[in-house]
């Protein structure tokens, strides 16, 4: 075990720890959450069972790494459980996560406990977890969270994902720019002159490995993956302006993979009256799935096989959802489904380094359960001025939702006079009065406004300090 030296933040604030946070599990999710909370000057300790993973964490994170079991009282005490303000249990074992929270409840005064559970009985467990025995404040079910995001875009062939901010008043819509789109070659200034909905704005452009926070002279290219921010009441109008087709009614959907996430999506879709076929290679699992679903047709077959898909009439289906546990299978079969006539292809891709490649290949929507969990945890643990931080792709860009303080340098000035660093843009403002806007150059941010910022990852500390007094990022 060792404690790595802490890096000073580049905007020169005085280093002080906000919280002592104990993270159980040093996998992809635990490491990502730790990285973000470290950047906000919290003191992080990670408990991880794998010696190899511990060595890797020590090389990459400014955190104290303790090798041992998350379900061991002695290990957690050695990791400083008695002094911890928060515990985040994200090991790959539901049992270890629950036991870690139970130990914290019995042997410490930890104020906040968060646990990831994968069990299909999560609804039953929530009542147990919230009681006095465990005292867990947030239970995250990664498949349920991801399924909710997937079902938002099933009926929108041109849309990759939709996220909401400002209590649902602002939407962020992702889409791919097709080669024949009228948007190809247009600059941001030209788009502005083409009569878009007044409360809409292109906030981010992902072009290959490049991330662009666009200015007036930046233009769109075929193959770009863009995110448009708009007030929620103008989303449909924004779709029409961007040339996005909305399906009046989704009728048929194929789901590939009978793991928990496939079942979750099937249950949500069949409740809406959609005809669902779920393909699973394992016969025993097919039988178990058929007992859980109602209207879904469970097919014992390889849903990535071309002949099988043709025999099951894939041509013309509204969406093909590749939700197996194999990223490569999901990517390849999604491409195959488009060639065979599926209107929309959605792939589950958890390796973050695969995300840019999958987007370049033209898959309509790509979801990562890992990023969904990280975002959900970070949205919950922030109870102060930072309301949420949402990551994109390999944490290259972020959407930050914060409450502006009175006093910082960017408050009370017109946006055109702020001289925001290149790579940052104000996407939306929600006032305490209820007014919501996608701002323009003459707009002014006032104290108490909820501000949605889009920026490159490296600019986050600078922007937070510019809108919040003393960079006061209260976490509880």
User: What pLDDT shows up at residue 306?
Assistant: 95
Q: Which domain holds residue 424?
A: 372-471
Per DSSP, what are the bridge partners of residue 174? 161, 227
Report the 10 Å Cβ neighbour count for 448.
13
Taking each helix axis as running N to C, give the angle between helix 142-153 and helix 260-271, from 0 to 180 degrees, rounded to the nearest 10. Answer: 40
Domain with residue 280: its CATH number is 3.40.50.720
Q: What is the mean pLDDT of each run of 10 residues along the chain (476 residues)?
A: 35 50 94 86 93 95 95 96 95 95 93 91 85 87 91 86 90 90 93 91 89 90 92 92 81 95 94 95 95 95 95 95 94 95 93 77 85 84 70 80 79 85 90 91 89 86 73 44
pTM attached to this predicted model = 0.81
Q: What are phi and psi of 82, to 5 degrees?
A: -65, -25
Task: Pull the structure tokens for residue 342.
Answer: 């599926």
The helix/strand/coil state of 221 is coil
User: What pLDDT shows up at residue 468?
Assistant: 72
Which of 312, 346, 371 is the last residue in one of the domains?
371
User: What pLDDT shows up at residue 5?
Assistant: 36
User: What pLDDT shows up at residue 158?
Assistant: 79
Whether residue 330 lies inside any domain: the answer is yes
Q: What are phi and psi of 324, to 5 degrees?
A: -75, 175
Q: What's the structural domain count of the chain?
A: 3
Encode burial over 93-109: b for 16+ CB neighbours within 10 A, e otherwise.
bbebbbbbbbbbbeebe
Whether residue 77 lies inside any domain: the answer is yes
Query: Which distant-in-sequence residues (6+ apart) come within 8 Å of 352 by Cβ?
Result: 28, 368, 370, 371, 393, 394, 395
Whether residue 383 lies inside any domain: the answer is yes
Q: Are residues 454 and 348 in the same domain?
A: no
Sheet holding 225-231, edge to edge: 159-165, 170-176, 225-231, 200-207, 210-212
Q: Are residues 283 and 353 in the same domain?
A: yes
Which of 115, 140, 165 is the last residue in one of the domains?
140
Domain with residue 398: its CATH number is 3.30.70.1450
Whether residue 166 lies inside any domain: the answer is no
Query: Which distant-in-sequence residues (6+ apart) come within 8 Å of 218 by Cβ?
Result: 187, 188, 205, 212
Q: Are residues 377 and 366 in the same domain?
A: no
Sheet holding 297-300, edge to edge: 297-300, 275-280, 252-256, 319-322, 345-348, 365-367
Q: Are residues 334 and 377 in the same domain?
A: no
Compute the distance between CA of residue 382 and CA of residue 394 in angstroms, rounded to an integer.
22
The strand ranges marked E within 57-195 are: 64-67, 86-89, 112-116, 138-140, 159-165, 170-176
Whether residue 5 lies inside any domain: the answer is no
């Amino acid at each position: 075990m060792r404690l790595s030296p802490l890096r000073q933040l580049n905007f020169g604030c005085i280093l002080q720890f906000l919280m002592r946070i104990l993270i159980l599990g040093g996998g992809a999710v635990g490491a990502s959450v730790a990285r973000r909370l470290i950047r906000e000057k919290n003191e992080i300790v990670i408990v991880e069972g794998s010696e190899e993973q511990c060595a890797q964490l020590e090389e990459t994170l400014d955190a104290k790494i303790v090798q041992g079991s998350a379900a061991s009282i002695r290990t957690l005490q050695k990791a400083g459980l008695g002094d911890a303000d928060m515990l985040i249990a994200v090991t790959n074992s539901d049992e270890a996560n629950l036991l870690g929270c139970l130990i914290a409840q019995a042997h410490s005064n930890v104020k906040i406990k968060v646990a990831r559970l994968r069990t299909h009985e999560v609804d039953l467990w929530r009542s147990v977890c919230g009681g006095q025995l465990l005292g867990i404040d947030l239970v995250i079910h990664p498949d349920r969270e991801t399924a909710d995001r997937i079902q938002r875009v099933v009926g929108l062939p041109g849309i990759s994902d939709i996220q909401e901010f400002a209590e649902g008043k602002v939407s962020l819509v992702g889409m791919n720019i097709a080669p024949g789109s009228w948007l190809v070659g247009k600059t941001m200034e030209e788009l502005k002159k083409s009569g878009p909905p007044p409360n809409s704005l292109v906030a981010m452009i992902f072009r290959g490995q490049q991330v662009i926070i666009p200015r007036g002279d930046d233009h769109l290219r075929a193959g770009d993956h863009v995110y448009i921010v708009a007030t929620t009441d103008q989303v449909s109008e924004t779709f029409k302006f961007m040339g996005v087709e909305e399906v009046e009614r989704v009728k048929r959907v194929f789901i590939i993979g009978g793991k928990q996430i496939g079942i979750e999506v099937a249950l949500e879709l069949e409740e809406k009256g959609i005809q669902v076929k779920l393909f699973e290679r394992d016969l025993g699992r097919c039988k178990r799935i058929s007992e859980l679903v109602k209207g879904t047709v469970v097919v014992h077959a390889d849903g990535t096989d071309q002949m099988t898909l043709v025999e099951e009439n894939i041509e013309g289906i509204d969406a093909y959802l590749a939700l197996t546990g194999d990223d490569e299978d999901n990517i390849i079969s999604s491409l195959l489904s488009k060639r065979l006539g599926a209107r929309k292809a959605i792939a589950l891709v958890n390796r973050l380094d695969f995300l840019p490649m999958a987007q370049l290949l033209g898959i309509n929507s790509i979801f990562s359960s890992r990023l969904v969990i990280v975002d959900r945890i970070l949205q919950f643990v922030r109870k102060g001025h930072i309301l949420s931080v949402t990551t994109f792709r390999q944490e290259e860009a972020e959407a930050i939702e914060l409450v502006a303080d009175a006093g910082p340098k960017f408050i009370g000035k017109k946006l055109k006079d702020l001289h925001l660093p290149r790579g940052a843009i104000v996407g939306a403002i929600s006032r305490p009065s209820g007014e919501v806007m996608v701002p323009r150059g003459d707009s002014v941010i006032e104290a108490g406004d909820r501000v949605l910022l889009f920026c490159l990852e490296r600019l986050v500390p600078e922007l937070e300090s510019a809108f919040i007094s003393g960079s006061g990022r209260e976490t509880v």
